[in-house]
Amino acid sequence: MSSTDDAKIEELIKSTWVIIKWLISLGLLLVILLSLSNSNPANSQWWSVISTSGCGLLLGGASFAGGGFLGFIFGIPSLLQNQSLTASKPTTFKYNDNLVQISDWLTKIIVGVGLTQLGNIPGKVIKAGQLLAPSFGGGEGGRNAALVIIFYFLLFGFLIIYFWTRTDFTNIMKKTDDDINKIRQDYEEVKQEKEKVEQVNQVMKQENKEYKEHVIQVKSSENIQKSNMVSDVSTLSTLAQDDPELGDKLEQLKEIVKKQLQSRPIKHHDDTQKERWGGRSKNMGKVMEAAVTPSSWKNFYNIDIAVYCEDGSLLKDPIAIFVDDTYRIPDSVIYIKPDENGVAKLSLLAFEAYTLGALFLDDSTLELDLNNHPGYPAEFYWNE
């Protein structure tokens, strides 16, 4: 439908409402005039004319309304119902097709009742004329005037409203239907665009996460390789060279790690060490701490981990530190040899907080949840 047609239909809708308002106003005015004429004690000729004219107009209006109602009921196109029922696109509202169904029912009822009551109709018509005759002077003239007014306005009310329903009303409903379909189409387009944006965002998030994971894998591996105090499981022999006793302890620790990993399944796949190592960063006189500072790499952080004895004694045996699986380290475990001060140290790179675990030769454990530890940069934390 063109914009010119839309403008015509909108103008038609406005004019229809103007006519409705004028008809209501006219009816109210006639009711007021009739009320005044009936209360006139002098019963003057002018008031009688006004009263008779008002009764005629009200009767004509009522007949026109009744005929118009029938014309509207008979004129409603069933196509509107079919359009509403076949609409397949999602929307926040839909057509109410009750009027179409009522129109079908009333049409059948009126036709059926009318056919069965054909013999009684003339008597009913005459009785109606006799009841209304006093308002038009009484007698046969008053009766005939009342009947003429009824039939005249009833017939033309039916024809006019029937024609209006089949033309203007249909166009108005068609425009409404087109507007709803346009809203549905716009809704679908917006929905599809939103889905595309969400897909792009998901891809970008995934690529960003993969990039960050790659960075921390490379940089953390470099830190491990540069240090002669830490090692993953593949280079334990290098960590224990020139110290057979340390080598034996590392082998013992490796076996303990193997057993503990089997008996401690992962509970949180977005933080693989969480609730896996006892939940305490202080246990049996041992402490695990971590300092977090911004890295020279934007949006990355340096994590300096330290494990030591709370009473100031020296750690002598190697320990195992468990990190998140994003580091892609075998079994996510790093073996650390304490330094000359009896402190086990490890430096890693990270882009967000996670949980650390620690395991000792005596089977004791520590766990430090960096995401719940205060004092770190705000951007380092993530919402669970």
User: In this model, does residue 382 exceed pLDDT 60?
Assistant: yes
User: In this model, does residue 243 exceed pLDDT 70?
Assistant: yes
Contacts of 311 (CB under 8 A, 6+ apart): 285
Q: What is the pLDDT of residue 32?
A: 57
Q: Which of the four pLDDT bands, split at 50, 70 and 90, describes residue 92?
A: very low
107-128 confidence digits (pLDDT tens): 677 667 666 666 666 677 777 7
Sorted by where each starts, the structural domains of the chain and their CATH numbers stand as 3-196 (no CATH), 227-380 (2.60.40)
* Burial state string for 104-127 with b = 16 or more CB within 10 A and e = fewer than 16: eeeeeeeeeeeeeeeeeeeeeeee
Q: Which of the four pLDDT bands, split at 50, 70 and 90, describes residue 168?
A: confident
Helix (H) or strand (E) holding 347: strand 344-350
User: In this model, does residue 255 exceed pLDDT 90?
Assistant: yes
Contacts of 366 (CB under 8 A, 6+ apart): 277, 278, 280, 281, 282, 283, 286, 287, 288, 307, 357, 358
Contact criterion met (CB below 8 Å) for 252 and 337? no
Q: What is the pLDDT of residue 337?
A: 92
Residue type, 234: S
Least confident piece of the model among 50-54, 90-94, 293-297, 333-337: 90-94
Measured between alpha carbons, how far is 211 from 221 in angstroms, rounded to an integer? 15
Measured between alpha carbons, how far is 176 from 94 in angstroms, rounded to an integer? 11
Q: Residue 137 has what DSSP assignment? A: T
Q: Which of the four pLDDT bands, split at 50, 70 and 90, describes residue 194?
A: very high
Q: What is the mean pLDDT of the chain?
A: 79
